[in-house]
Chains A and B, each alone.
Chain A
């Protein structure tokens, strides 16, 4: 079995960070995928049906009548700010994000234990995640201002997290024997 050489502690930390952020990213993309499935164009909120706010439900949820009505407006905002292509693009990107997040967890675990030559795979994984962040950023930039505001900052944060991991992997792979027996 091959050992990843170089600074053992730094490769271990790349692994720990990759797994921790991989778990969070999995939750993030999983939720985004769910969100795009649920908030579909042509659904009832877009048809202008008024909110159904029963007093007992409001009490149970601790909501005001206005908040209940704005929950429907929230869906209308998402749909009104989304270009036609946005939902399918985000479904594809978040599905890709789920797969790459799983890969980053696997890659991170290998880095912690330094047991296999995974430099190239790690590079592909984090480059893929950077590409997905960039594509989501570009997609969000082309939506209306109300939706754009929800996406840009969090996507930028993920972009820099993944760029840092990609740089770290690139840096340790330049040290001798990362990808060789």
Chain B
């Protein structure tokens, strides 16, 4: 049996996975809600929740990166196969896109003039006064990094299924809590 991964690492991986899919599904729906105004407040709860989950994902991704760095330091150095190098690249790209997606979303919201209260408890600072140009710029970055993230997540799932079909122990480790 393969050496088990730390429980925290497995738990955070699945929490991030569930959160990312929830963010995709809910964002596609919430953008079909009426534009916000004094009368129309349908977007208030979904957008606030979207930001809360997104910021929490950012914190979890930082924790995942820290755990990965610590684990790499503790492993004996050995030459990587081509597939292992590809897997490393996939992980790095996934972390980069998760961070880029979350940070650009927060910055876009920050420049839109809307306030962010993390889980309805902590008021997060806005970076500056409302700025439409920067709001649109970060909104576009948010959109494209999230599409790229969806593509890389699909690749990640494909690679996991590949390991499942090979019946090797890579996939078992990620399913052991």
Contact = CB atoms under 8 A, between A and B. Distances in A.
Interface of A: 9, 12-13, 15-16, 19-20, 23-24, 26-28, 30-31, 34-35, 37-39, 43-45, 49, 51-54, 56-58, 60-61, 63, 68, 71-72, 74-75, 105-106, 108-109, 112-113
A38 B50 CA distance: 14
B171 A34 contact: no
Given A16-B171, A35-B29, A109 B46 contact: no
A48 to B, nearest CB: 11
Nearest to B167: A9
Nearest to A112: B175
Contacts of B120: none
Given A13-B164, A54-B35, A60-B132, A27 B22 contact: yes
Interface in B1-36: 14, 17-18, 21-22, 24-26, 29, 31-36
A15 to B, nearest CB: 7
B68 to A, nearest CB: 21
B35 A113 contact: no
Contacts of B164: 12-13, 16
A15 B175 contact: yes
Interface string B121-145: 0000000000010011001000000
Contact of B21 (A13, A26, A39, A71): A26
Contacts of B176: 109, 112-113
The 4 closest A-B pairs by CB, nearest first: A52-B37, A27-B21, A112-B175, A27-B22
Interface in B138-177: 139, 157, 160-161, 164, 167, 171-172, 175-177
Contacts of A24: 21
A38 B117 CA distance: 19
A12 B36 CA distance: 47
A74 B34 CA distance: 9
9 contacts: A15-B175, A23-B21, A27-B25, A51-B35, A60-B136, A61-B35, A68-B35, A74-B34, A109-B176
A49 B39 contact: yes
A161 to B, nearest CB: 15
A26 B33 contact: no
Given A71-B33, A75-B34, A56 B132 contact: yes
A100 B129 CA distance: 44
Given A15-B175, A44-B40, A52-B40, 6 more contacts: A19-B14, A27-B21, A27-B22, A28-B25, A51-B40, A74-B32
Contacts of B37: 52, 54
B17 A23 contact: yes
B45 interface: yes
A27 B19 CA distance: 8
B42 interface: yes
B49 interface: yes
Nearest to A101: B18
Contact of A43 (B42, B46, B177): B42
B171 A30 contact: no
